[in-house]
Structure 1
Amino acid sequence: MGAAMSVLRRSATLAEVAFRRQMLMTLEIPSKDYAYQWVMQWMVANRVHGSRHLGVETTYVKDSAGRQTADFDFIPSPGRHWVRWRGNFIMVDRARETKTVDMSTGAPWETLTLTALSLRPGIFHELLSEAKQAALAREEGMTIIYQCYGHEWRPFGNPKRNRPFDSVVLDTGVSDQVFGDIQDFLQSQQWYLDRGIPYRRGYLLHGPPGCGKSSFVSALAGRLGYNICVLNLGDPSMTDDRLAHMLAVVPPRSLVLLEDVDFAVGQQAPHDPTGPYAGVTRVTFSGLLNALDGVIATEERLVFMTTNHFHALPRALVRPGRVDLSIYVGLASRSQLKRMYIRFFPGQEGLSETFATVCEDEGLSMAELQGYFMFFKNKPEEAVANIQAWLDERRKVHQEQLAKMRGETSSDVAEKTSDVDKVPPPEE
């Protein structure tokens, strides 16, 4: 009897193993995989069947008016749970590591294990596809801003609503030129490969501050359906190796934005030898060049660089291969003045001509124009009637700024202001 019981026990164990191998399917999803967040959100939407052990994810949202709301989503806590989906029962095992953590966030690593009967071999593929489509639907019409934390890209804040492409008013033909060049690049991958040309494209937007360089990149990303990865070269922890790594692991359908790229060219203050970054070598100009177009440079990427000091950039940085298209984004031209006025006051073509005539040679930036129009919402006539007084006050302020730079007195400023009708803004 003892031998018989032993044989039965052994047979039962083997039968259980055979059943698991033949009749059950298992899918493991580590927390560092993209699909992990998709499936967790999918589980929130489908509810955990009969679970009494839950965790909570709080979504803190602030609307455009500044009102704050908090939503609570209940998710299965670590352990085993059941989910019923399309007539199938799926066992969810959420396991959390206790000895290893993510060094950049301190959060423990986790693994989701989904187990289902193998009667439908494609059930997991269908589940992942549904979770992916649901995640993409939540991001439709949105632009995700990524920032680098440690050695990986992570979303910064909530996704932003796509900015209309025509909301950034550049000089005639500039926006369409850049958009057309990118469209041609995205459709020419095989052409690049056939000729042995690295499949990447670099753009440099340069000009005075407040003229719409960063805003144009944001609007362009929305038009293309891309996200934006912002790379801060002034980060004290940014080194040459980290820069190259971050450019190599850019999320799909994302463009890289390097703002104020002249920072890597100019002289940088050394680290405090007793500070938290003591002994860390910041990103160098040589490291920037190698990351953009060196042996370690990766392909299949779009890089946008911005600067307010174009003449300070060495020729080695702006040569073709690193900067394929250089665009000047300058002060408002007559065409921009008219289009900006019509955008705020649609249908006022006649007043736009008058407005552009008064402001044409004043050297206004687009940020200044937008700030001025904000005072005259739905009042196109008042915007034209008050522009001359606003320009006179602006000239006076610029004269005072110049006087402070030259050490002149207020009486000298008043005398010069009365003699000079129009004074351009101080140079960068």
Structure 2
Amino acid sequence: MIPATHLLATLPLPPLAAVDGWQFAGGAAALTLVAATFGKVREFLTHLTRIAIVSVTVRGYQAEALLLELRSSFHTSKWGPRSYLGWMLHVRPTRRVQLVPMEVTPSAGRLWWTGRGLKRAAVWVRRGESKDEEMHDGLTCRDWEEKPLTLLFLRGTLDPDALMERAAERFNAFETRHQASEGRRHTVRFVYGTAGDRGSVMKEVRRNRGGTGHTDLRPCLAHRPLGRGFDELGAENGGANPYAPLALNAEARGLIAEARDWKAGEQWYRDRGLPWRRGWLLHGPPGTGKTALIRAVAEDLDLPVYAYDLASLKNDELRERWAEMLTEAPCLALLEDVDAVFHGRENVAVKEGGLTFDCLLNCLDGVQRADGLLIAVTTNHPERLDPALGTPDRAATRPGRIDRVVELPPLDEDGRFHLARRILAEHPDRWEEVVEAGAGDTGAQFQERCGATALRLRFARVAPEPVEAVPTARVSFEASDTRVTAA
């Protein structure tokens, strides 16, 4: 008998390489099958997840409105990631601009819920990331934080359309009422661009401090301030007469009456199919009160002011910011020292890539309807301006663009007496002397003259007190130490 092991040894076997090839092919096929199956399973699970969980992306102003709605109507846990930022804001009790910390929605996300029991609805909210160059900057502080929000919630627990409508209604009511400023809308917002060397400097300023003044609370209404309420922040309440500190001639007083009539006459303009807008060109030497008058008018009429830095703006930037401003109407657009930017129609501030005169005119009187807009242009040298903006010898070159051209000259005698009585109230015997000496002064010059006189008289009343001599110190430096001895 031949042993079985010998028989097995005589049987023909496939080559080793052939065995390895078949095993590799079989393994690859198995992996392909598993991968295909897993891909189908993952696709199926993803499909089920999308059916069960709703994902919503919210951008722009609606994102702020949603955060305000969540903070007002939903609850959130104190556990989990937290995120804070600081705003430099005017604090009313201290009358100072101070750092105010605020809690914001973290990029890692946060859970919000409303209702009880089976009627409870929960939503996960996280803020997306965006690059600096993708952000808008300039018009409002909110622009630098304009990152999209992502919402996740179980289907059927929330109606996203209804949620967005409620958020918009709350946001509109909040801004209209502006409870943080007791109903007042007046703020000053600076509009910068990126043209020329100054543009890069101002872009850095905006990144660090924001594009608005320290009294504008609207960019942070969706945040949670720590240690203070919104009623303590922002602009001081109106009430005082903004024109009291000013010495105004008859034409300037006429502008005030005209502005009040314009603000109150919205329906009159609409009934007659006229654009509800007004344009002024104020000219005169520096210090005659052009900007002070415009600021007082805006405060009196409770209008937000948009102050445009034309030297740093490009065409597309001005068009974009101008369109955004019109959404805040009624408002006041301030274009200061236009002669420093344009000589005629030439941009002398930025030779290449800067704002063009045609673009400026199109914004002032273009195809876009500008109801509720009061435009104020100032210049120290009206002779440098193109007639399209107005000329001093005519009331208006182009009604509907610039309707009134008004000169603010140096103070007359009545104006000087007005300031002297206010600043030197305790020294009526000095009024005539100061008024006579200030003939030809501008408003700023005469105010400085009165202020210097009042301070000199104030400190003259303070009796000098003996001051004890304080020994001076003599410092000797040696190689090993420093010694201080009294002289």
**Quick one: which of 228, 246, 262 aligns to 2:321?**
246
Equivalents in 2 of 1:341, 1:314: separation in Å? 38
CA contact (8 A) 2:123 2:152 kept: yes
Taking the aligned partners of 2:278 and 2:130, their CA distance within structure 1 comes to 43
Find 2:135's aligned residue among 94, 99, 103: 103
Q: Could you report, residue by residue, the CA deviation over 1:25-62 in whole angstroms, capped at 9, with x for unpaired residues?
A: x9x78341167068459839998433322110212347
Which stretch of structure 1 is more off in the superposition, 78-87 or 312-321? Answer: 78-87
* 1:355-366 → structure 2 map (5 Å cutoff): 355-359=434-438, 362-366=439-443
Please report how far the alpha carbon of residue 92 of structure 1 lies from its aligned counterpart in structure 2 after TM superposition: 4.7
User: Which residue number corresponds to residue 374 of structure 1?
Assistant: 451
Retained in 2: the 8 A contact 1:92–1:112? no
Partner of 1:328: 407
Distance in structure 1 (CA, Å) of the matches to 2:82 and 2:409: 55
C-alpha offsets along residues 330-377 of structure 1, whole Å, 9 cap, x if unaligned?
Answer: 211111111112222447656434432343xx3111112222333355
Query: How does 1:74-113 map onto structure 2 within 5 Å?
Result: 74-78=103-107, 79-82=109-112, 91-98=122-129, 102-104=134-136, 109-111=147-149, 113=151
Residue from 43, 67, 72 that aligns with 2:101? 72
Is the alpha carbon distance of 1:56 and 1:328 closer, same or farther for their aligned partners in structure 2, counting shifts above 3 Å? same
Q: Is the 8 A contact 2:185 2:303 kept in 1?
A: no
| Aligned amino acid, residue 135 of structure 2 | M
CA radius of gyration, larger in: 2
2:338 is aligned to 261
Structure 1 residue 326 displacement after superposition: 1.9
Give deviations 1:60-107, integer Å, cap 9, x for gaps: 347799977433222342323235699996645323335777333575
- Note if contact 1:92-1:114 (Cα within 8 Å) is conserved in structure 2: yes
Question: 2:186·2:298 contact (CA, 8 Å) conserved in 1?
Answer: yes
Which residue of 2 is the match for residue 158 of structure 1?
214
Which residue pairs with 1:171 in the alignment?
Answer: 248
Specify whether residues 63 and 81 from structure 1 end up closer, same or farther in structure 2 by C-alpha distance, changes over 3 A only.
closer
Contact 2:342 2:349 in 1 (8 A): no
For the residues of structure 2 that align with 1:45 and 1:374, how far apart are their CA atoms?
53
Aligned position for 1:408: none
- 2:149 partner letter: T
8 Å contact 2:337–2:377 — kept in the other structure? yes
* Residue 54, structure 1, aligned to residue 82, structure 2: yes
| TM-score, normalised with respect to structure 1 | 0.65
| CA RMSD after TM alignment | 4.5
Report SS of the residue matched to 1:341: helix
How many pairs are equivalent?
352
Question: Which of 180, 183, 186 lines up with 1:138 in the alignment?
Answer: 180
The answer to whether the 8 Å contact 1:147/1:230 transfers is: yes
Which residue pairs with 1:342 in the alignment? 421
Change (3 A) 1:349 1:322: farther
For residues 255-301 of structure 1, the C-alpha deviation after alignment (integer angstroms, 9 at most, x for no partner) is: 100011223234444857xxxxxx62x32333333332244564431
Which residue does 2:281 correspond to in 1? 204
Q: 1:126 to 1:176 in 2, by over 3 A?
A: farther
CA change 1:308–1:220 in 2 (3 A) is: same
Contact 1:202 1:325 in 2 (8 A): yes
Q: Structure 2 CA distance, aligned partners of 1:381 and 1:98? A: 58
SS across alignment from 1:249: helix
Query: Structure 1 residues 130 and 317 mapped into 2: Cα distance closer, same or farther (>3 Å)?
Result: closer
